[in-house]
Amino acid sequence: MDTNEKRIATIFKAFCDENRIHVLKLLIAGEKCACDLLDEIKITQPTLSHHMKILCDAEIVIPRKEGKWTYYSLNPDGVEKAKRLLSEITQLQHQPTQN
């Protein structure tokens, strides 16, 4: 049993919770601090912090500390990696993002 598959599963866990999906959708509009996200999602601050850690550990989101705030944004590299992995495990050809 390849540990590689466990690694892949861990990355996709970023997308397995409705609150994390919600966060990602909010981050599409651009970088936001935790308190901004907290205004829009019906969870407590520690719960949000927990989800942000999972998103950051999966490298789907990048944190940036500035003073007492932490700003979060989508991580293009991590997102690209997730898309590549999804292509790999489903055998459909991967199309690199054209920007």
Partner DNA sequence: ACAACGCATAGAAGAATGTCAATATATTTT
Partner DNA sequence: AAAATATATTGACATTCTTCTATGCGTTGT
Binding site for a copy of itself (CB under 8 A): 1-2, 5-6, 8-9, 12-13, 15-22, 24-25, 28, 41-42, 60, 74, 76, 79-80, 82-83, 86-87, 89-93, 95-99
Q: Which residues contact 51 (CB under 8 A, 6 or more apart)?
A: 17, 19, 20, 23, 43
Count other C-beta atoms under 10 Å from residue 34's C-beta: 17
Give the Cα separation of 3 and 42 in Å (integer): 35
Nearest CB to DNA, comparing residues 86 and 99: 86
CB of 49 to DNA, least distance (A): 3
Give the Cα separation of 94 and 76 in Å (integer): 16
User: Which of the stretches 23-31, 48-56, 75-83, 84-92 binds DNA when contact is defined by CB under 7 A?
Assistant: 48-56
Q: Is 19 in the site for DNA (CB under 7 A)?
A: yes
